[in-house]
Each structure stands twice: as structure tokens, then as C-alpha cells.
């Protein structure tokens, strides 16, 4: 397998694995959204990159942790369409899910989500993207 060749994701769900997806770019190419599940965070240092290749037009692009103990820490920076400015959102202490709706929460073609397994139970996340309307945080606590 070529570790530099992007992987196009077109199914409704995708479970990322260390062997297949770490160090490789996953391109989310499904307008109806995809639910992407990360492996459990154990501190491997593995990096995962998801690029929105097709703007979400229904449902959501969701990236979630594998279990109820893992959380995310980091930020999402979204370019605002109306004011030609930017807005940055921070994770909360219990954030474990990224939800991008193709509008106010990002999920627009070209958005980039970078994740790193930095410690047991902890994912580092950095989102660079764009939004429409009044942007809102893509972070939530939804995994139980």
C-alpha cells in the first residue's frame, strides 16, 4: 500500500485503523455525510488527516472517539463567509465528537481535520475550515 496515496471514503461509516489510515489522508467524498470512528487513544503518536472532498449537503460528517473515556483537545478555526473574518472554537473538557454539517459547523470542500493520538484517552485536534451563516462550534460530547 502506498502510504502517501489519499484514501477516498464514500461509505456511510469508516473506522480508522493504525495499520491502514495512520499517516495517510482520508478524503471524505460523501455529500450525505460519513461517521468516522477513531481508534482508542493509547498514546501511539499516530496522526490522522481527514480532508473534506465533497461538501456535506445532508446529514453530517462526524468524527468521534472510540469509547466513553477518550476525549479531544484542540481548536477549530473557521473562515466566516459573511464578514470575511475568522472564528475559532475550543474543545470543552468532555469533547469527544466533531460534527460538521456543510454549513455553520464546517464540512465544506477543502476543510481539513488533523488528529493525533497524544496520550492514553486523549486526541489532539486541529480543524482548518470554512462555514456559512453564523458559525457554531463543531465540538460536542456525544459518545457514551
Query: d(Cα 90, Cα 92) in Å, to the nearest integer?
Result: 6
For 31, the grid coordinates are 455529500
**pLDDT tens, 14-45?**
999 999 999 999 999 999 999 999 999 999 99
**pLDDT higher than 90, residue 63:** yes
Bigger pLDDT: 58 or 4? 58
Residue 65 lies in a domain: yes
* Nearest Cα residue to 131 out of 112, 106, 109, 113: 106
Query: d(Cα 108, Cα 130) in Å, to the nearest integer?
Result: 6
Residue 75 lies in a domain: yes
**pLDDT higher than 80, residue 83:** no
Domain housing 105: 7-140
pLDDT score for 85 = 82
Residue 1 lies in a domain: no
Residue 88 lies in a domain: yes
What is the full DSSP assignment across 9-66? E-SSEEE--HHHHTTSEEEE--TT--EEEPPPPBS---EEEEEE-S---SS-EEEE-S
Residue 107 lies in a domain: yes
> Per the structure, how many domains does the chain have?
1
Residue 55 lies in a domain: yes
For 49, the grid coordinates are 488527516
Question: What radius of gyration do the chain's Cα atoms show?
Answer: 14
**pLDDT tens, 86-144?**
999 999 999 999 999 999 999 999 999 999 999 999 999 999 999 998 899 999 999 98
Query: d(Cα 6, Cα 106) in Å, to the nearest integer?
Result: 21
Residue 2 lies in a domain: no
Residue 24 lies in a domain: yes
pLDDT band of residue 2 (cuts 50, 70, 90) is low
**pLDDT higher than 70, residue 1:** no
Amino acid at each position: 500500500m502506498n502510504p502517501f496515496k489519499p484514501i477516498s471514503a464514500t461509505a456511510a461509516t469508516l473506522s480508522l485503523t493504525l495499520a491502514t489510515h495512520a499517516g495517510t489522508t482520508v478524503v471524505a467524498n460523501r455529500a450525505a455525510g460519513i461517521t468516522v470512528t477513531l481508534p482508542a487513544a493509547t498514546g501511539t503518536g499516530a496522526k490522522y488527516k481527514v480532508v473534506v472532498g465533497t461538501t456535506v449537503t445532508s446529514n453530517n460528517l462526524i468524527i468521534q472517539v472510540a469509547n466513553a473515556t477518550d476525549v479531544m483537545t484542540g481548536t477549530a478555526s473557521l473562515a466566516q463567509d459573511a464578514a470575511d473574518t475568522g472564528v475559532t472554537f475550543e474543545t470543552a473538557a468532555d469533547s469527544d465528537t466533531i460534527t460538521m454539517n456543510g454549513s455553520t459547523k464546517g464540512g465544506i470542500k477543502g476543510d481539513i481535520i488533523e488528529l493525533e493520538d497524544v496520550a492514553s484517552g486523549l486526541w489532539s485536534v486541529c480543524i482548518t475550515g470554512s462555514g456559512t451563516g453564523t458559525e457554531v462550534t463543531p465540538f460536542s460530547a456525544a459518545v457514551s
